[in-house]
Structures are given as C-alpha cells and as structure tokens.
Amino acid sequence: VQLVESGGGLVQPGDSLKLSCAASGRTFSGYAMAWFRQAPGKEREFVAAIRWSDMITYYADSVEGRFAISRDSAKTTMFLQMNSLAPEDSALYYCAAREGRIASPNYYLRLGYQYYSWGQGTQVTVSS
C-alpha cells in the first residue's frame, strides 16, 4: 500500500496540529497503521499505533494524553491529532502500515521493522 502524509507545518509551543496519512485513496484492509517520528541526529521513534479493525490504540509515553490517533470510517485515512505541542515534538513524522496480524501487539506494534509500507514523511516544527 502507498502512504501519503500531510498536515505538517510550523507552529508555536502549545499549539495543535493534525496530521493525515492517506492509503492510496483506497480502503486499507491490513492489521495496523502507526506514526513514527525522527528528529535530526536522533533515531526514529514510535509515536502511536492503531489496530485497523477494532481501533485499539497504543501510544508512546512521551505523547500519551496529548496526541490522539484515529482513522476514518471509510478506512482510507489515518490521523494524528497533536495538542500541546512542544519543541521536542519537532521531527519528520512518518506513517507506516502493516498487513498481517501479530501476537503481543502492544509490544511489536511499537517496533518500526514490523511495518512494511512507509510514507515519505511530513515535517512538524514547533518553535517560538
């Protein structure tokens, strides 16, 4: 599946932003999708994941309570609502998709190598 992210931009600390990830304009029928991010000089890190059928969600501790992952009812697009943004949230945000089911999703869905499709990324910069 081809993934295309959008919605990034430059915002001030405390602002909100909503990212979107479109799955080739068609229904995604796989197991899960997720958001990862990578800041300059740092490793890619897990942000949030959502199981596509039952919409169970998983979050990194650093964003729990501030970010919300969701998908549309047509199952073509994933979203990341980001609130109370801080400078440390600045990064290139990627969406990723996994087709097959896995055991222990709370553990394995946080690992980037479990995803087989990736978008090109959308930049989020939080600065005053």
Least confidently predicted of 15-19, 24-28, 66-70, 75-79: 24-28
Burial of 81 (0-12, 13-18, 19+ CB in 10 A): middle
Find how far residue 77's CA is from the centre of its chain.
Answer: 11
Digit-coded pLDDT (tens) for 38-88: 999 999 999 999 999 999 999 999 999 999 999 998 889 999 999 999 999
1 C-beta neighbours (distance < 10 Å), count: 15
Tell me the pLDDT band of 25, cut-offs 50, 70 and 90: low
Report the distance separating Cα 23 and Cα 123, nearest Å.
19
The pLDDT, as a whole number, for residue 27 is 83
